[in-house]
Structure 1
């Protein structure tokens, strides 16, 4: 078992290593990008990566406080579902109005992998192999799809 400080340091070490590994990768538009803190350009819409001692996930999170607006975003993604899955090369899980770890209502489109443990250095290659192609595919998708969300800004 790790202390809170040790756990935080190990997670930070993983995300730093991942950031260094993926940093040479340019975005679909040929720009440098902060892959770990990806900016969609739309408030309350995030591409998030998460890893803990049991599993890892990557996803699109819609966190708008108004459930109706959240649903409009989700429906827009549903319109683009086949395109999204073609970029990703796989099906993801779709959840309208679920709750996050803080009890806040969000909507999420995500993919999980497990068992993996971010605190085990031996699992880092598996985590990197999980995250890298998916965040790049999300970027490629977003490069084409973001204009579909202009009316919802």
Structure 2
């Protein structure tokens, strides 16, 4: 068991290491990118990576406070579902109107793995191997479809 401070330091160390590992990799458009704090350019749409004690996940979170608009964004993603899954080379889970860890209603498209821990350095290579191809594929997908979601140049 780790103290709160030790746990925080391990999380920070993992994300720093991941950021350094991903740093040299350009975006699909050839630009420098902050992979950990990915900016979609659309308010209320986020690409998130999270790693916990027993699992890790990567997701597209649609967090619009207006649930009808949130549903419209979700439906818009559904029109690109085949492209997304082809780009990722796998199928993801789709949840309309679920609750996030803060009790807020969001819609989420995600992939998770279990039996890994951010607090075990021996799992870090597995976590990096999980996150890296998926965040790169999400970026590739987003570079193709983002203008349909209102991203301006």
TM-score, normalized by the shorter chain, greater than 0.5? yes
Could you tell me which residue of structure 2 aligns to residue 46 of structure 1?
A: 46
Gaps of 5+ in 2: none
Cα distance in 1, alignment partners of residues 147 and 85 from structure 2:
18
Give how far 1:18 is off.
0.3
Number of residue equivalences? 151
Gaps of 5+ in 1: none
Cα distance in 2, alignment partners of residues 27 and 74 from structure 1:
24
Partner SS for 1:71:
helix
Give how far 1:114 is off.
1.1
1:147 maps to 2:147: yes
TM-score (norm: length of structure 2): 0.97
Cα distance in 1, alignment partners of residues 2 and 150 from structure 2:
45
Give how far 1:87 is off.
0.3
Name segments (4+ residues, structure 1) moved above 2 Å: none
Cα distance in 2, alignment partners of residues 65 and 86 from structure 1:
30
Could you tell me which residue of structure 1 aligns to residue 88 of structure 2?
A: 88
Give how far 1:77 is off.
0.2
Could you tell me which residue of structure 1 aligns to residue 126 of structure 2?
A: 126
TM-score (norm: length of structure 1): 0.97
Give how far 1:150 is off.
1.6
Give how far 1:148 is off.
1.2
Partner SS for 2:150:
helix
Q: CA RMSD in A?
A: 0.8
